[in-house]
Structure 1
Amino acid sequence: MLRRTISFLILAGSLRAEKVVIDRVAAAAGQQVVTLSAIRRHLRILALVDNSPLEDTQEARRKAADRLIDQALIHREIELSRFNAPTRAEAEARIQTFQKQRNLTQQQFDELLQRYGFTEDDFTEEVLWRISVTRFIDFRFSPGVQITDDEIKKYYTDEFLPQFRRRAPDAPLPPLDDVRDRVSQVLMLRKTNQAVDQWLAQMRTTVKVRYFEAVLGKEELH
């Protein structure tokens, strides 16, 4: 059954289309597959959001495949969890913030999306997904994270102060009490990410993860 489901060629597109688009399975986690087109789309959205050059190499595709497998595992858990899904209004607010941060007019934003092969609806769906993941992580992992005073002091001494000194060599060092909340937030995020990574690693042991290197190395689809 699984072998029939995960064929190396997947046909996609409208039944009324004159041409058939051929896609390839680049990775699989159990019965969930990651296609080459999904990987390339993921790389384009990363380049767009991060304002960085598009990197469509075999190494970048392998990393993207890993991220998409993680997303598939998270998506499965989101469907089983009970928390409020984000609204389109929330996504639109995030998009407005994105445009302001990039200093983009609506026309420039539309041109940017088009350059990377996306519509505004595509981008909105991406933002909705990112909000969903953040909300799931807060719902599932953040409540169990505890930060001790010793951890705060250690981070302040070992990491915060050296980083601050490199950024502002002549500025007076801020006392711990002035930056305690900021340090706590950094440690909270770090510990939450560690909890998520551990959970994903455990989830991966419950499914068979496979990569098809010949597909990941393909330059173009024919």
Structure 2
Amino acid sequence: MPKTRKKTSKKKIVETSGVLAPQAFEDVQTQKKSLSVAKIAFGLGIILLLALAYYYKNLFVVAMVNNQPITRLAVISELEKKQGKQALDNLVTESLIIQEAQKQKVSVTTAEENNELTKIEDSLKSQNMTLEQALQLQGMTKDDLLKQIKIQKIIEKILGKDIQVTDDEVNKYLEDNKDSMPKNPTQDELNKLKDNVKQQLIQQKLGEKFQTWLDDLKSKAKIDYFLNY
């Protein structure tokens, strides 16, 4: 019997030279989209930076004089030249006081701060002045004042417990300063006057004691200065 040949079907090979296959076409499209998104994101980033620079321009430029900028850095530099040493000394002192308070477990409550703030407001009212007006004159904010009150209360708690003012000291002060005292005060006015004088004498003694105490803290502390004013 004659052998029958098996017919083999040849698969046609499709030339892809110069023609993008479907997968390759999709990859190119994805790359184009990624580039478009990146460009949009970059553009939005530039717009955002410009908007922030305009909104926070006072962080960099504080004034313009005939289109010439005065930078915030220049202002800070000028202030440092004139008041840098005093400001640094104040910050060092505050830090030493706070650290000593923590060491001795001395704290000041919000109620104590507000109580002192009320006393200040009442005192200012008697002088026909508001707290806001007084702060503006001093170039201070309410937070600055509260910070000072806290420091003062800490000093009083640490040093004031041993300070005493006698009635004789109060009467002597009144006698020595009688020319500046009210004439013929009522008993209530006199009692109030004596209380004010007593507090004034306490603060005076506190101030004298404070300087010695602060000098002692500084002598025992490790303070490194990295800039000399």
- Structure with the larger helix share: 2
TM-score by length of 1: 0.47
Higher relative contact order (CA 8 A, sep 6+): 1
- Structure with the larger strand share: 1
